[in-house]
Structure 1
Amino acid sequence: MTTSTPPLREAAGAIVLDADSRILLLRYDENGGFWATPGGSLEDGEDHATATLRELREELGIDEKAVELRAQLAERSKNHLVGGREVRQVERYFLTRVSVTDADLAHATQSDNIRERRWWTLTELRAAQETVYPVGLADLVAAVVDGRMPPRPVVLTG
């Protein structure tokens, strides 16, 4: 019996916080429904930071001039289906802080099956009954809000 390794899919995501340290999450209906950070796969020739800025523009209408990407906070590797095909997705998550008004959905160019966009307080995130990806996001956000930036990217699961 042979087993094959799924193809690699590089992805980038943003942990978007506002001035009140609320995090912006997006809701999707597939796979039973879940909330996740903005982001997506890298396009040819992109690095992770460039892909993160593009995804913020496409999904949230955030002008790149309004975004200062900060440190890479985390990474995650997970096998999952994309377009009916299993891939090994490797994601890098970058911190950014924006104003609530910077997210201008009238300028978003790709909905990517996003059903809802919502700013969450840390208390709401910790109490969430819905599925939130990546697993461990609440603890990471709590550390950032408390001024405890990880010295190297944290490895998240799920």
Structure 2
Amino acid sequence: MPRPRTRDAARVIVLDENDRVLLLRYDDDGGVFWAVPGGALEPDETHAAAAARELREELGLDEVSIGPQVALRSAIHTLFGEQVAQVEQYFITRVRAQQVRPERATQADNIREWRWWGLGELARTGQTVYPVGLAGLISAYLTEGTLAKPIRLPG
């Protein structure tokens, strides 16, 4: 069986002024799930540059300051019918909620809904949310600040 190709990606945990996190709902490959914005790197693009580009494309956010990398995750999943080994770096950014302008998104990428979630709601939901452990990661960031080393999230 051939080894899946590696796909490097950048993801952004977008927090607003009330410590809510913005999640995007996808109906993809037969499943419904919520995830933070982000996507694959383009050739010769850094993870931070990809993170900023993805926020422009998916949320209509211009001139956002990408914060520190707080986590990383590796997982094998199906993307457009192909198995890929996705390697993701997670960054944090802060915005005012009204800055998010989905109507200005240039690449909606199967996004069905944009929604702000409080940490309590996120921790209690029965819906599928990626990455697994997102509520704990955000909570740790809010109480401890940026850790010396990014946290490895489960695949």
Q: Same fold (TM over 0.5)?
A: yes
User: Which of 94, 111, 119 is the aligned partner of 1:97?
Assistant: 94
Residue 25 (structure 2) pairs with residue 27 (structure 1): yes
Q: In the alignment, what sits opposite 2:36?
A: 37
Q: In the alignment, what sits opposite 2:13?
A: 15
Aligned counterparts of 2:36 and 2:134: Cα–Cα separation in 1: 9
Residue 112 (structure 2) pairs with residue 79 (structure 1): no
Q: If the length of structure 1 is used for normalisation, what is the TM-score? A: 0.94
Letter in 2 for 1:83: F
Aligned counterparts of 1:128 and 1:106: Cα–Cα separation in 2: 27
Q: In the alignment, what sits opposite 1:47?
A: 46
Q: If the length of structure 2 is used for normalisation, what is the TM-score? A: 0.95
Deviation at 1:69, TM superposition (A): 1.1
Task: Please give the per-residue CA displacement for 1:76-121, whole angstroms capped at 9, x wherever unaligned.
Answer: 0001111111110000000000111111122110110001000000
Aligned counterparts of 2:146 and 2:42: Cα–Cα separation in 1: 29
Q: Which secondary structure state, in structure 2, belongs to the residue aligned with residue 29 of structure 1? A: strand
Letter in 2 for 1:12: A
Q: 1:138-149 counterparts in 2 under 5 A? A: 138-149=135-146
Task: Please give the per-residue CA displacement for 1:8-43, whole angstroms capped at 9, x wherever unaligned.
Answer: 100000000001100000001124200000000011
Q: In the alignment, what sits opposite 1:56?
A: 55
Aligned counterparts of 1:129 and 1:110: Cα–Cα separation in 2: 28
Runs of 4+ that moved beyond 3 A: none
Deviation at 1:150, TM superposition (A): 2.0
Structure 2 stretches of 5 or more lacking a match? none
CA RMSD of aligned residues (A): 1.0
Q: In the alignment, what sits opposite 1:157?
A: 154
Q: Which secondary structure state, in structure 1, belongs to the residue aligned with residue 144 of structure 2? A: coil
Q: How many residues align?
A: 154
Structure 1 stretches of 5 or more lacking a match? none
